Amino acid sequence: MPKTQEPEVKESTDFIRAKIMADNASGRFNGKVHTRFPPEPNGYLHLGHAKSICLNFGVAKEFNGLCNLRFDDTNPTKEDTEYVESIREDVRWLGGDWGDREFYASNYFDKLYEYAEQLIKMGKAYVDDLTADEIREYRGTLTQPGRESPYRNRSVEENLDLFRRMRAGEFADGTHVLRAKIDMASPNLVMRDPTLYRIRHATHHRTGDKWCIYPMYDFTHPLSDSIEGITHSLCTLEFVNNRELYNWVLETLNVYHPEQTEFARLNLTYTVLSKRKLIQLVKEGYVKGWDDPRMPTLSALRRRGVPPEAIHDFCRRIGMAKSEAVVEYGLLEFCIREYLNAHAPRWMAVLNPVRLVIDNYPEDQEDVFEMPLYPDDDSFGSRKVPFTRELYIDRDDFRLDPPKKYYRLAPGQEVRLRYAYFVTCTDVVKDAEGNVQEIHCTYDPASRGGNSPDGRKVKGTIHWVSAKYALPAEVRLYEQLFSVADPNNVPEGKTFLDYINPDSLRTVSARLEPAMAQIRTGETVQFERVGYFCKDRDSTDELPVFNRTVTLRDTWAKIEKKGAK
C-alpha cells in the first residue's frame, strides 16, 4: 500500500540549529533569528543553492524569524537581470518567503561608500596605486609574509582626495584600489590589506552608470548583513578564512555585528555544481540551456518534473555539517520517487512499442475499461481506456527465449494485461532479419477486468495501449550527464567535458492511452511499471512531449543482470 500521508520525521538538531538555540537561550540576539539567502545574480540556482535556501528559510521559519532575499550584486561585469528573475522564481518555487524583503547589495552603495570614507578617516584604509600584479607580489606567499605597499602611509587627506576622485571617474580601471590597512604579515592571507573597492567603468544592472567604483564582497557582505539586522549569517566553508575579515570590518566600524557560521557545501556524484562549469556547459552548447533537464539547476529539475517537496526532503536527509561530503545521486532519486509515488496519478504508456494481436478477439469488438488514476484512492478519479484487437505492448515485456523467472510474455506463457484480460502468447511474426514484428495471442474472455473466475493466477502483469486509439508522443529519457561518479576529479590532461555521458538523452516515439491528452504541461505522472514523467512545454497539440523525471526501481533488471554474470 502506498502511503498517501507525508512521513512523520523527527528533525535532528544540526550544529547550526544547536547554535541558534544556544543563542536564544543566552539571549544573545534577544531571541531574534533573522537570516538571509544572498545569491550573486550571475548564474542559475542549482541544488547546492537549494541546500542553502532550505537552511536559511527553514531556520527562519522554525525559530519564528525572517529570511531576506538579497542579491549580492557588487560585480557589474558578471551580473544580469536575467539571473535575478530566474533566482526569484526558483526561490519562490522552493517555498522561500521573503515578504517585501527583497534586497540588493547595490541598494547599499551610498552607505557603503560612507563607511569606506569613515575607514579612511580612521586611518584604517588607503588608496593604493600598485597594479594588480604588483599587489600580488607584495602580498607574499602562503609561507612568507607580504610587504607593505609604498602607498600605504599616505595621509588621510590624500587618501580621501584620491578616493573621491576614484568615485568621480578620474581614473582608469585598475589604476587604483582602496585597501584596508590591516597586517601584511598576517598568516591569514585574507587579512593582508584586502582590497575594498576597485574601479570598474561598467554599467550595473540596477544602478546603471551611477558608480564607477564597486565594493568587494568582503567589505559588502558583513555590512549588508549588519544593515539588514541579520543575526545568523550562514555561508559555505570556503569563507571560513574570510570570517576574520568579516569581523574586522564590523568591529572597526563599530556597527551591529551578526555572526557568520559556515557549513559544508553540497557535492553530488555524477554531477558538477560549480557555476563556472555549469555556465560552460550552457555557453558551449553541451546542453540546451540552463533548464535543460540534465542540468542540476532548479529550473532544470522543475522542468524535469521534480517536485519541490522532494528537494526539501533531500536537503533534510543530507544533513548539515562541516565535513565536505559527496552525496550519492541515488538519494535524490529516492526522495523524488518517495514523493511522486504518493502523489502522481498512474497512466499507461508504451515507450518501445511492438504490436500485439489477439487472434480470438473479434475484429469489430471494443471494450472500454474504467481505471483508477491511483489504485485504492478514489480521490484521484479515473479514466476510460479503450481496448481493441490490436494493441501495443513494450518490447521489454516479451521474450522469444525467456530467461529463468521471467514473468512476462513469451511463447506459450500467459500474462495479465493490466485491468483488462489474461492473454497467452501463441505465435510470433518476424521480419527478414528475425526481429519480432508482431506477437499473436489469445485472450480469455472470462478474465475480463483482470481476474479469472477459476482463480487461476498469472505471475506477470503488463501495460498496454490500443493500437487503434493510441496517441503518439515524444518521450525524452534522461540519464546522468556524466558517466563518472566524480567528474570534478579527472586524470591529468582530461576535463569534466571528456566525461559527458553520450546517452544522457535518448528520445523515443511512444504510444499513450488517448485520455493522456488531458495531462497538463508541467504535470508529473507515473507511466505504470516504467517511471515518472513530466509533460514538457515543447508539447504541441499533435505531439505531446514528456521528460522522464526518474525511473521506477527496477528489481527485475537487477535480477537479470545478476543472472548474466
Partner RNA sequence: UGGGCUAUCGUUCAAUUGGCAGGACACCGGAUUCUGGCUCCGAUAAUCAAAGUUCGAGUCUUUGUAGCCCAGCCA
| Binding residues among 244-263 for RNA as defined by CB under 7 A | none
Q: Which of 5, 11, 12, 363 binds RNA (CB under 7 A)?
A: 12
Cβ 325 to RNA shortest distance, Å: 3
Q: Is the dihedral of CA 78, 83, 85, 90 positive or negative?
A: negative
- Interface stretch with RNA, choices 7-15, 114-122, 278-286, 473-481 (CB under 7 A): 7-15
Ramachandran class of 434: left when φ > 0, alpha when ψ lies in -120 to 50, beta otherwise: left
Among positions 259-298, residues that touch RNA (CB under 7 A) are 264
Choose between 193 and 291: whose C-beta lies nearer to RNA.
193
Cell of 452: 479469472
Question: Phi and psi at residue 90, in whole multiples of 5°?
Answer: -70, -40
To the nearest whole angstrom, how small is the minimum distance from the Cβ of residue 226 to RNA?
16
Using CB under 7 A, which of the segments 27-35, 111-119, 185-193, 428-436 binds RNA? 185-193
141-160 residues near RNA, rule: CB under 7 A: 141-143
| 267 versus 292: smaller Cβ distance to RNA | 267
* Contact yes or no for 536/505 (Cβ under 8 A): no
> Which span (157-165, 238-246, 379-387, 498-506) binds RNA, by CB under 7 A?
238-246
Q: Does 125 bind RNA (CB under 7 A)?
A: no
Is 251 noted as a catalytic residue in this protein? no
Query: Considering the complex, what minimum distance in angstroms separates the CB of residue 195 from RNA?
Result: 4
* CA angle, residues 86, 501, 480, in degrees to nearest 5: 55
Residue 562: CB atoms within 10 A of its CB come to: 8
Looking only at residues 381 through 400 of this chain, which bind RNA when binding is defined by CB under 7 A? none
Distance set, CA 110 to CA 10, 56, 265, 331, 501 (Å): 46, 27, 32, 46, 49
Instruction: Please say which residue, 15 or 85, places its beta carbon nearer to RNA.
Output: 15
H or E stretch including 290? none
State the nearest-atom distance from the C-beta of 39 to RNA, in Å: 8
Per-residue x/- track, 487-526, RNA (CB under 7 A): ---------------------------------------x
Region of 23-31, 126-134, 289-297, 535-543 interacting with RNA (CB under 7 A): 126-134
Let me know how long the chain is: 565
DSSP secondary structure letters along 497-534? GGGB-TTSEEEEEEEE-GGGGGPPTT-EEEETTTEEEE
Cell triple for 150: 609604498
Q: How far apart are CA 444 and CA 421, in angstroms?
A: 7
Binding residue for RNA, selected from 90, 225, 291, 338, defined by CB under 7 A: 338
CB 354 within 8 A of CB 391: no
Considering only the stretches 336-344, 423-431, 472-480, 496-504, report the one whose residues sit in contact with RNA under the rule CB under 7 A: 336-344
Which one among 305, 528, 534, 550 touches RNA, defined by CB under 7 A? 528
- Of 13 and 81, the one with the shorter C-beta distance to RNA is 13
Residue 438 appears among annotated catalytic residues: no
Q: What is the size of the binding site for RNA (CB under 7 A)? A: 93
Active site residue 265: yes
| Strand, helix or coil for residue 313 | helix
Three-state secondary structure call for residue 268:
strand
Q: Which strands form 422-430's sheet, in the order they lie side by side?
A: 461-462, 414-417, 422-430, 436-444, 353-358, 390-394, 465-466
Cβ 124 to RNA shortest distance, Å = 17
**In terms of CB distance, is 132 or 429 closer to RNA?**
132
Among 19, 101, 139, 275, which one carries the catalytic annotation?
275
The one among 321, 429, 446, 543 contacting RNA by CB under 7 A: 321
Among 117, 135, 205, 386, binds RNA (CB under 7 A): 135
Minimum CB separation of residue 451 from RNA in Å reads 5
Interface residues for RNA in 41-60 (CB under 7 A)?
Answer: none
Near RNA by CB under 7 A: residue from 51, 181, 232, 529: 529
DSSP result, 367-423: EEEEEESSTT-GGG-EEEEEE-SEEEEEGGGB-SSPPTT--SB-TT-EEEETTS-EE
Please say which residue, 127 or 253, places its beta carbon nearer to RNA.
127
Read off φ and ψ for residue 485, nearest 5 degrees: -65, -35
Residues 407-426 that bind RNA (CB under 7 A): 407-408, 416, 418-419
- Which of 28, 61, 124, 265 does the annotation list as catalytic? 265
In which element (H, E) is residue 551 found? strand 545-551
Query: Contacts with RNA in 432-491 (CB under 7 A)?
Result: 449-451, 460-462
CA–CA separation, 482 vs 273, rounded Å? 12
Cβ burial of 5 (10 Å; 0-12, 13-18, 19+) is exposed
Instruction: Provide the minimum distance between the beta carbon of 446 and RNA in the complex, in angstroms, as a whole number.
Output: 12
Q: Which of residues 188-227 bind RNA (CB under 7 A)?
A: 188-190, 194-195, 198-200, 214, 216-218, 221
Q: Which of 274, 280, 341, 382 binds RNA (CB under 7 A)?
A: 341
Q: Which amino acid is at 489?
A: N
The catalytic residues are: 40, 265, 275
